Amino acid sequence: MTKKKTLRRAALPALFLICAAVGSAAWGVPAGTEEPSLQEALALDYLLFLARTPASDAEAREKLYLALIGDCPETQAAEEAHWALSNLYLDEFDEPMEKEAKEILEKFLERYPTSQWRRHVENRLASLWGE
């Protein structure tokens, strides 16, 4: 592999994090207003970058999940990202971030009141509130 290709591959995650932080607003489209098919395509991009992000990099994974949730709210991936983000907050940071986990799960219940995952989310919230 040439030095140029190696540098380009190394720069991709950083470039994506910048794009994720800026979101679709960089192209003049308010976050969350894309057509569902565009949201699905963007969600797939986020999921691909999540797959390439080391599990040990909780901060980068958090940013990607939040970007996916914000930019692709009409997708199944966004529903799943709420749950995955709550897992991240509870298990992957040095100190569990219970407040943030509760907030993201409550946001899930507001956005997806008829979701098939609703009961799981309610049970986790009940467990967190009981602690």
Query: Per-block average pLDDT, block size 10, for the chain (131 residues)?
Result: 43 44 47 72 96 96 98 96 97 95 97 95 94 61
* Residues spanned by the domain of 88: 37-130
In whole angstroms, what is the distance from residue 105 CA to residue 88 CA? 12
In whole angstroms, what is the distance from residue 85 CA to residue 58 CA? 10
Inside any domain, residue 107: yes
Inside any domain, residue 13: no
In whole angstroms, what is the distance from residue 51 CA to residue 36 CA? 22
Inside any domain, residue 25: no
Q: How many domains does the chain have?
A: 1
Inside any domain, residue 26: no
Amino acid 22: pLDDT:
45
In whole angstroms, what is the distance from residue 86 CA to residue 103 CA? 9
In whole angstroms, what is the distance from residue 86 CA to residue 97 CA? 9
Predicted model pTM: 0.73
In whole angstroms, what is the distance from residue 85 CA to residue 64 CA? 10
CATH of the domain at 78: 1.25.40.10
Inside any domain, residue 81: yes
What single-letter amino acid sits at 114? T
